[in-house]
Chain A
Amino acid sequence: MSGSVGQPIDRVDGPAKVGGKARYAADFRPSGVVYGAIVTAAIAKGRIAALDTTAAEAIPGVISVIHHGNAPQLAYAPMDPRPIVDPKTGEALRVFQNDQVLFAGQPIALVVAEEPEQAIQAAALVRASYAVGNAASDFSHASLEARPPEESRHPGGKPGALRRGDADAAFAAATRRVDASYEQPAEFHCAIELHGTIARWDHDHLTLWDKTQWVDNDRTEMAHVFGIPDDNVRVISPFVGGAFGSALRSWPHVAAAALASLLVNRPVELVLTRRQQFSSVGYRPRTVQRVRLGADDNGRLTAVIHEAVAQTSAYEEYAEMVIEPPAMLYSTPTLRADYRLAPMNVNTPCPMRAPGIVTGTLALELAMDELAEACDLDPLRLRLLNYAERDENKNLPWSSKSLRQCYAIGAERFGWSRRPSAPASRRDGHWLVGYGMASAVYPAHRAPATAHAELRADGTASVTSAASDMGPGTYTSMTQVAADELGLPINAVQFELGDSLMPPAPVHGGSMTMASVGSAVQAACRALRAKALDLEHPNRLPQDRGAMQQAYARLLARHRLDCLTAETEAMPDDAAGRFSMYAFGAVFAEVRVDAELGEIRVPRLLGVYAAGRIVNPKTARSQCIGGMVGGLGMALTERGQWDDRFGKIMNASLADYLVPVNADVQSIEALFVPEEDPWVNPLGVKGVGEIALVGVAPAILNAIHNATGRRIRSLPATLEKVMGC
């Protein structure tokens, strides 16, 4: 029987999506629903001195204006342990519980009205006056006070420092050196679906239709906010219109919608405006990194020194694994890496596609390109010379690593040998042409997950797990896994997700859905098939998928069963303690820079990935191309800009914060190197969602150097930077 896993299967949810029938959070219509609109703080720090709601309340249709002056005190019971998606230090923002303002854009009131337009109009009429405090709004200032993350002092917390040998002495003694600082601005997820929640209370039970990457945690967090049992909360989220990390946590507006519904006794729909997305949900934090690389005359690394400072909020410490890539991507006898956080009056950052890893890899891969120049070596050759045969950071062997193949296949396919050997040496008309490359890496995670599988009287199967699908194709890949285990055709299996009443699943992030939920689906379906085989001699079950459905139906009928079920939890084994598990990749970019105007085009981008087994090459390739275009945006256009004086985001719209558009994209190709990994998880998958973003921006910036001779060390690489203005 040939399996569907590994085949380019069409999306099972495709027809619903192209037909406008897929239902996202804000598409549900509980009867009697009313609409909320948020009022946000206009200052970055201080106190609300007075709030005048008279004009807002006079708008026809307005039902209530909720704020700290009239909202009840909520339980906000502490969660122990904290969910992995929340920062380990500090306290999540509470809505309407006091008069304190901690950042500009903080929700300070919520208008509820019969129609959306009424709520929006009234929200604009709420007048707040403030006692203005002294805000930490300038990053360069705040970074002087940066400190190691508090969580680094506790077991399991992200490290603030990594050490191997005496890196400073080795750097001082090195004959080839690079010492440079790189700046990555804050970047925003900008999924096209706005964050939104519909909340409805039925007595002491709360139902939320929410944009979330983790229904189970959303349920538990809201239960703690309102001091009710987990079982009294149900979260429903069958489709997520992109999120990339922005919907991992339960943000304050979710509690605000639930509170409003409680107070007005009607279901309340609250959709953030695009502008509010820039302050009500997180973002990738601004990070400055100084990298020093020391090498011998042959280009062998002798020292890696990496110092990173990132912004966080004044009320929570959001830490990332920025210092991990420099510690493990190449072989080096000495290492010193330090990571510090600068608290500011901003809202708390959060994971965004390949959090921390993309940032650390950016600085390292830009510095490696500079080192190649200092050593007079081809950049790819330099990477091969320093290839890490084991994880020197964790001091473990790799579970599998096919980065060499990625380099080789990528170089061949891209034509790396035709790279201009000297910067600014190739011209095509008014275009300067350059090639660049970078490595990519992302850890392979896995978490416990449970799935429920059921054979129905007609021989078809239904499988559920409280997972999520923000676009990569969870519905499809899980259906494939289930179909293969049960020996059924794809269309005889239905996979459902996105409801906290379903068996528990981990967060849909960190590229671990396939590894975790996929393993559970596989285990549950395997158990179900074993149950069926207990009732029937294996020889009487057909080999053919079409016939299997009838065979199951006959079997159930013969045993007078309505259905046959199995529920299984799949747990990670101890392999993660014995092996270091990462996906790897190599990214190649061709760049053309207009010699007179500085316009930058990227005619070719190639990513080659070794990410274990690829369950569905069709959806995986598409996911990678999308991720690579995210990297293109990071390289050339994306930058969140605060006004340093007032701590306000200045470009809070899709017209001002520039995500890549159709015209930016030319030839983009993603390839997979076949890779068997017996250790990562039963399916042998490593995930591709995050790694696709990693390495793209440095490959492009390195290509810009090759084209123009100019090193751009702060993202994004805009025209004025290439022109040297």
Chain B
Amino acid sequence: MRSVLSLTVNGRAREDLVADNMLLLDYLREVAGLTGTKQGCDGGECGACTVLVDDQPRLACSTLAHQVAGKRIETIEGLATRGRLSALQQAFHEKLGTQCGFCTPGMIMAAEALLRRNPDPSRDEIKAALSGNLCRCTGYVKIVESVETAVRAREAAE
């Protein structure tokens, strides 16, 4: 069965005819063409598919597209403003929060959700917020440092 799905993706309203059993992950990647959101497991194990739904982190691989009808979806592609990287993205770049880069979009989106609800998290709060996101390359050290750097950069900019 297919039905019309309307929602906003990265600030843009969309309407698509979408199968009822289509995952949000496949909707974003295959229908909306936003391949920045990644898949790393069979469901709920790795966090690579993390996106924001109404500011909350959500696993796109374990969410049906129709479940988020009418909501505000944000993906990694929506973070930069007019080509300028966000503070988090910039920090992940400079502090080497990324190696192969595959966990990075999910990692950044999970961190973004954290900073929206808690702009000044402690190291433990950062680790807890990213506890559902696996990385096999960096050993996490640089990822946590990246988020801390972004926190400071955001504070300095205020």
Residues of A in contact with B (beta carbons under 8 Å apart): 10-11, 13-24, 26-27, 29, 115-117, 121, 189-194, 239-242, 244, 271, 273-275, 470-473, 618-619, 622-623, 625-630, 653-655, 659-663, 665, 668
> How many residues of chain B are within 8 Å of chain A by beta carbon?
58
The reply to whether A244 and B41 contact each other, CB–CB distance below 8 Å, is no
- Given known A20-B36, A271-B39, contact A242–B140 (CB-CB < 8 A): no
Name the contact of A17 in the complex, choosing from B48, B79, B104, B133 (C-beta under 8 A): B104
Beta-carbon contacts of B74-107 to A below 8 Å, as 1s and 0s? Answer: 0111011000010001101110111111111100
User: Which one of A242, A618, A662 lies within 8 Å of B130 (CB-CB)?
Assistant: A662
A653 and B96 form a contact (CB under 8 A):
no
Q: Which of chain B's residues has its CB closest to A35's CB?
A: B30
Determine whether the beta carbon of A663 is less than 8 Å from that of B127: yes
Q: Which of A20, A117, A619, A653 contacts B105 (CB 8 A)?
A: A20
Ranked 3 nearest A-B pairs via Cβ: A20-B36, A241-B102, A629-B139
Beyond contacts A15-B89, A191-B100, A630-B139: 7 other A-B pairs, Cβ-Cβ < 8 A, are A192-B100, A274-B40, A470-B100, A629-B138, A654-B45, A662-B131, A665-B140
Which residues from B are CB-within-8-Å of A659? 134, 136
B45 contact from A26, A274, A628, A660, Cβ within 8 A:
A274
CB distance from B48 to the nearest CB of A (A): 6
Restricting to B117-141, which residues have a CB under 8 Å from any CB of A?
Answer: 127, 130-131, 133-141
Known: A15-B85, A622-B96. A117 touches B21 (CB 8 A): yes
Q: Are A668 and B139 in contact (CB under 8 A)?
A: yes
Partner of A653, one of B45, B48, B144: B45
Are A653 and B100 interface neighbours, CB within 8 A?
no
The residue on B at minimum CB distance from A605 is B139
* Residues of A with C-beta under 8 A to B134: 192, 654, 659, 661
Would you call B142 and A116 a contact (CB within 8 A)? no
CA gap between A523 and B30 in the complex, in Å: 43
Of A16, A21, A627, A659, the most chain B CB neighbours within 10 A belong to A21
Establish whether residues B96 and A20, one from each chain, have CB atoms under 8 Å apart when the complex forms.
no
Check A10 against B103 for contact (C-beta < 8 Å).
no
State whether A115 touches B22 (Cβ < 8 A): yes
The answer on a CB contact under 8 Å between A626 and B137 is yes
**Closest approach, in angstroms, between the C-beta of A238 and any C-beta of chain B?**
11
Q: How far is the CA of A121 from the CA of B19 in the complex (A)?
A: 13
A653 pairs with B35, CB closer than 8 A:
no
Expressed in whole angstroms, the Cα–Cα distance for A190 and B102 within the complex equals 12
Q: Choose one: A15, A116, A471, A625; the contact of B30 (CB below 8 Å).
A: A116
A-B contacts, 8 of them at CB < 8 A, read A18-B85, A19-B85, A190-B136, A192-B46, A192-B48, A193-B102, A239-B101, A628-B139
Q: Is the CB of B94 within 8 A of A10?
A: yes
Q: Is the CB of A115 within 8 A of B75?
A: no
Query: Known interface pairs A116-B26, A117-B23, A654-B46. Does A194 touch B138 (Cβ–Cβ under 8 Å)?
Result: no
Q: Is the CB of A24 within 8 A of B102?
A: yes
Given the complex of chains A and B, what is the CA–CA distance between A241 and B21 in angstroms? Answer: 27
- Which chain A residue shows the least CB distance to B105? A20
The distance in angstroms between the C-alpha atoms of A242 and B96, with both chains bound, is 15
Distance between Cα atoms of A490 and B36 in the complex (Å):
26
Q: Are B139 and A625 in contact, with the CB atoms below 8 A?
A: yes
Q: Are A471 and B142 in contact (CB under 8 A)?
A: no
The answer for the CA separation of A192 and B141 in the assembled complex, in Å, is 17
| B38 at the A interface (CB under 8 A) | yes
* CA of A336 to CA of B101, assembled, Å: 44
CB-CB nearest in chain B for A669? B141
For A22, list chain B residues within 8 Å (CB). Answer: 101
Q: Which residues of A contact B41 (CB under 8 A)?
A: 194, 274, 653-654
In the bound complex, residues from chain B placing their C-beta under 8 Å from that of A628 are 139
**CA gap between A684 and B137 in the complex, in Å:** 25
Residues of chain B within 8 A (CB-CB) of A27 are 29, 35
**Is B158 part of the contact surface with A, judged by Cβ < 8 Å?**
no
Q: Which residues of B contact A239 (CB under 8 A)?
A: 100-101
- Interface pair A242/B104, CB less than 8 Å apart: no
Chain A residues within an 8 Å CB radius of B136: 189-192, 242, 244, 626, 630, 659
Cα of A472 to Cα of B137 in the assembled complex, Å: 9
Selected contact of B103 from candidates A192, A630, A663, CB within 8 Å = A192
In the assembled complex, the Cα of A625 lies from the Cα of B96 at a distance in Å of 11
Expressed in whole angstroms, the Cα–Cα distance for A239 and B94 within the complex equals 19
The reply to whether A663 and B131 form a contact with Cβ atoms under 8 Å apart is yes
B46 CB contacts on chain A under 8 angstroms: 192, 274, 654
Decide: A241 and B38 in contact? CB cutoff 8 A: yes
Please determine whether A660 and B76 come into contact, CB atoms closer than 8 angstroms. Answer: no
Residue of B26, B42, B101 most packed against chain A (CB within 10 A)? B101
Please determine whether B144 and A471 come into contact, CB atoms closer than 8 angstroms: no
* Most B Cβ at <10 Å: residue of A19, A271, A653, A655: A19
Cα A618 to Cα B104 with chains together (Å):
18
CB-based contact B85/A625 at 8 Å: no
| Nearest-Cβ distance from residue B91 to partner chain A, whole angstroms | 9
